[in-house]
């Protein structure tokens, strides 16, 4: 199973909105509503931001939202803030008890 496809980089100015895509196939992203997103600052452990496509854990700002259309899931960060600058990874169930991650997207706040 190949990794999910994410753009290597994304950027936006403070206050703007940015959307990061995560493209898979009908065997993973498109087949299940089991996509999660993680934020990782340099030298730190990943942090859960979204689970089951669009659910936000307690404590995660509502500026972060998730969605899915077909084989592509998306993470949108609204009202960009400096502290949002980080790497973001998507993850999906891929059937047959397998989980796969995306290649990661480096978000830069200009």
Partner 1 sequence: QITLKESGPTLVKPTQTLTLTCTFSGFSLTTSGVGVAWIRQPPGKALEWLALIYWDDDKRYSPSLKSRLTITKDTSKNQVVLTMTNMDPVDTATYYCAHRPWGAKASNWFDPWGQGTLVTVSS
Residues lying near partner 1 in the complex (CB under 8 A) are found at 1, 3, 32, 34, 36, 38, 45-48, 51-52, 57, 89, 91, 93, 96-104
User: Terminus-to-terminus CA distance in the chain, angstroms?
Assistant: 35
Structure token digits, residue 79: 């009202």
Q: Based on CB atoms, which residue is closest to partner 1, 8 or 82? A: 8
Residue bearing tokens 């998507």: 90
Whether 75 contacts 50, CB under 8 Å: yes
The CB-of-103 to partner 1 minimum distance in angstroms stands at: 5
Q: Based on CB atoms, which residue is closest to partner 1, 19 or 101? A: 101
The CB-of-14 to partner 1 minimum distance in angstroms stands at: 27
Residue 82 backbone phi and psi in degrees, to 5 = -55, -35
Q: Based on CB atoms, which residue is closest to partner 1, 17 or 98? A: 98
**Positive or negative: CA dihedral 37, 91, 70, 32:** negative
The CB-of-11 to partner 1 minimum distance in angstroms stands at: 19
């Amino acid at each position: 199973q190949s990794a999910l496809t994410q753009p290597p980089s994304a950027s936006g100015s403070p206050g703007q909105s940015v959307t990061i895509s995560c493209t898979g196939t009908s065997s993973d992203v498109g087949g299940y509503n089991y996509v999660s997103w993680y934020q990782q600052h340099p030298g730190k452990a990943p942090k859960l931001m979204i689970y089951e496509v669009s659910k936000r854990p307690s404590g995660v700002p509502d500026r972060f939202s998730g969605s899915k259309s077909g084989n592509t899931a998306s993470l949108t960060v609204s009202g960009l803030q400096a502290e949002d600058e980080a790497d973001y990874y998507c993850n999906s169930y891929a059937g047959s008890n397998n989980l796969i991650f995306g290649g990661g997207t480096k978000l830069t706040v200009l």
